[in-house]
A and B are shown apart, each in its own frame.
Chain A
Amino acid sequence: MSNTTTQVRQTQDFTNNERSTLTYTPRFDIWEDETAFHLTGDLPGVSSEHLEIQYKDGELQIWGKAPPRQDEVEYWAQEYGIGDYYRSFSLDKGIDGDRIDAVLKDGVLELTLPKHPSVLPRRIAVKSG
């Protein structure tokens, strides 16, 4: 439906050694409408002050820190671990990096990545004459 060449491609970075060794890849939905790309990710346990999003040279990086858990605890059920979240996406040209918007609510991150005006379809007005 879109005639632009803009694409969102998912990449994973396993080389980031600065983060905790316990790093999880959060799940994301990605969808597109006429003017923007939308990324929705599950980051349970992350609050906005522990979330870091960077966009540089077409690379979108998302770090989320879940609150540290008391180490002394002995679990009788442990089905998920507590650690950092990390995910990166490669976005080719066509995203307006300055206008990226992020909202975090109930552990869900909503990112809006507006398409750059130069890649939007331009409507041509027809003059009658």
Chain B
Amino acid sequence: MLLNRVSPLELLGEMQRSFSLIDELSRAARPSYSHSNFPPLNGWNDEANYYVEAELPGFAADSLNISLTDGQVLTIQGSRTIDEQREQRKWIRRERGFGSFERQIMLPEPVQEDQVLANFKDGVLLITLPKAAKSQPRRIEVAKG
């Protein structure tokens, strides 16, 4: 019988292949990189300050823009470029991303906008936001550290 030529093992393989195709299609429809979750942020506070820390390896301090709106909405922008122009470059593996990002977060409480500090060291950005209650947008300079 012709049917017998297909072994159960082959059928199983066929099934697995179709499942992995479904997997692939659903992944394609739902991009794994979203602007909203880059950079990853950690936030904590003590009595005096809120602290927001972001992992930004390879970003130049002067490419980072930090601003505060209504004393409570923190916006971080920046970009990282990867030199594509180098001659004779042959990629073997690419895991690191490049391009620009913008991320906004709402702080738990309003802060003192005029006393916000930002420090960038070893690819980690630490923003110190003294607790208060005020409102005025203000641009914060990033200090190289």
Contact = CB atoms under 8 A, between A and B. Distances in A.
**Do A and B come together as binding partners?**
yes
Of B41, B60, B91, B95, most A-chain CB atoms within 10 Å: B95
B43 to A, nearest CB: 4
Interface string B43-62: 11100000010011111100
Given A29-B82, A29-B95, A76-B45, A44 B123 contact: yes
Chain B interface size, as a band, is: 20 to 34
A45 B55 contact: yes
Nearest to A2: B90
B57 A107 contact: yes
Interface in A76-100: 76-80
Contacts of A1: 88, 90
B96 interface: yes
A28 B82 CA distance: 13
A33 B86 contact: yes
25 contacts: A2-B90, A27-B95, A28-B95, A29-B91, A29-B93, A29-B95, A29-B96, A32-B90, A33-B88, A33-B90, A34-B88, A42-B57, A43-B123, A44-B55, A44-B57, A44-B124, A75-B43, A76-B44, A79-B41, A106-B57, A107-B55, A107-B56, A107-B57, A107-B58, A108-B57
